[in-house]
Amino acid sequence: MSKIPKSHPRYHSLMTRELISEAMKQGIVHETGLIAHGRGEAFDYLIGETTIPEADVAEKIAAAALLCAKNPVISINGNVTALTADECISLAKSIPAKLEVNLFHRTPERVKKIAALFRKKGVKTLYGVHPDARIPGLDSDRALCEKIGIFTADVVLVPLEDGDRCQALQRMGKTVIAIDLNPLSRTAQTATITIVDNVTRAIPQIEHWVYQLKETTPAYRQKLVATWDNSKNLEKVMGFLSKRLNSLS
Ligand code: PTJ
C-alpha cells in the first residue's frame, strides 16, 4: 500500500482508496468496483462524509428488521469484503445472521479468494460458495445463491447492490435493506429500507442499533418496521442534499 501521511486532510478517504485498490490487485474487488467506489465517494462528499439523521433512522429500522427476521442474510461482494469484512462478521454475530457471497462479476477465483479471506477471519460457513438455487428473473450470475441462504431468506441486507437483484429479491417477497450512497439509484429507489450512507459507517451503526433494540420488545421492533415509509425518508434525504448544496453555494 502507498504510504499516506496521517496529517493529510483526506487521510481517511485516501486510505479507503488504498484498501479498494489493494483488494483489486489481490483479485477480490472487480476492476469496475473501483468505478463504483468513485461514484460512492462523490455522493459521500455531497452528504458531508457523515451519517446524516435520515441514514441513522434507516439504520435503526434495518436493525429492527434484521432482529425480526427468521432467516436474515448479509450479502457480500468484492467492495464489501475490501472495506467492511470485519464489520460484517461482527454484525452477523450480533443478530445472528448468515453471510453469503454474491458477486455480479462472478468467477470461481474471486469466490475462492473471498471465501478464504472470511475463513481466515474465523467464519466457518460463508454461504453462496456452492450455489444450488437461482433468484428468478435474473440473467446475470447475481442470480446464483444458496437455498438455505438468500433463496429462502426473509430479510436480505445488500450493501453496494445493482438495481436488478434488488428488484428481483423484492419480487420474491423479501425485505431488502440496501446501503447505497446514491439516493437516485434503482437500488435506493426500490429497496424496502434504503440507507444512504457509506458502508463503512452504516454496518457498525446497524450493529449499534441491534444492541440498543435487543433491549426492546419484539412487538416494538415489529411496529418500527411495519410503520416505515421508505419513500418519505428518501424525500427527506433529497431535501437534506438540496439544502446542503444551497447552503454551500
Ligand atoms: O464484487 P461484484 O462483482 O459483486 O461487483 C460489485 C460492484 C460494486 C462493482 C457492482 O455491484 C456494481 O457495479 O455496482 P454499481 O451498479 O456500480 O452500484 C454500486 C452503488 O454503490 C453505486 O450507487 C455507488 O454510489 C454505491 N457505493 C459505492 N461505494 C459505496 C457505495 N455505497 C455505500 N458505501 C460505499 N462505500
The reply to whether ligand 1 has any atom less than 6 angstroms from the CB of 90 is no
Q: How far is the CA of 227 from the centre of ligand 1 (A)?
A: 28
Residue 219, beta-bridge partner list: none
Pairing of strands 133-134, 193-195: unpaired
Residue nearest ligand 1's atom 31 by CA:
40
The reply to whether ligand 1 has any atom less than 6 angstroms from the CB of 180 is yes
* pLDDT tens digits, one per residue of 127-160: 999 999 999 999 999 999 999 999 999 999 999 8
For residue 154, with 0-12 CB atoms within 10 Å meaning exposed, 13-18 middle and 19 or more buried, which class applies? middle
Alpha-carbon span 221 to 189, nearest angstrom: 23
Atom of ligand 1 nearest to the CA of 160: 21
Q: How far is the CA of 36 from the centre of ligand 1 (A)?
A: 5
The reply to whether ligand 1 has any atom less than 6 angstroms from the CB of 199 is yes
Domains, in order of start, for the chain: 53-248 (3.40.50.12640)
Neighbours of 11 (CB within 10 A): 12
Atom of ligand 1 nearest to the CA of 33: 9
* pLDDT tens digits, one per residue of 199-210: 999 999 999 999
Q: How far is the CA of 161 from the centre of ligand 1 (A)?
A: 6
With cut-offs at 50, 70 and 90, classify the pLDDT of residue 105. Answer: very high
Q: How many residues make up the chain in this entry?
A: 249
Alpha-carbon span 37 to 136, nearest angstrom: 28
Radius of gyration of the chain (CA): 17
**Span 55-75, average pLDDT:** 98
Please say if the pLDDT value at position 45 is more than 80.
yes
pTM of the entire structure?
0.96
Buried b (16+ CB within 10 A) or exposed e, 21-49: bebbeeebbbeebeebbeebbebbebbee
Grid cell, residue 66, equals 434484521
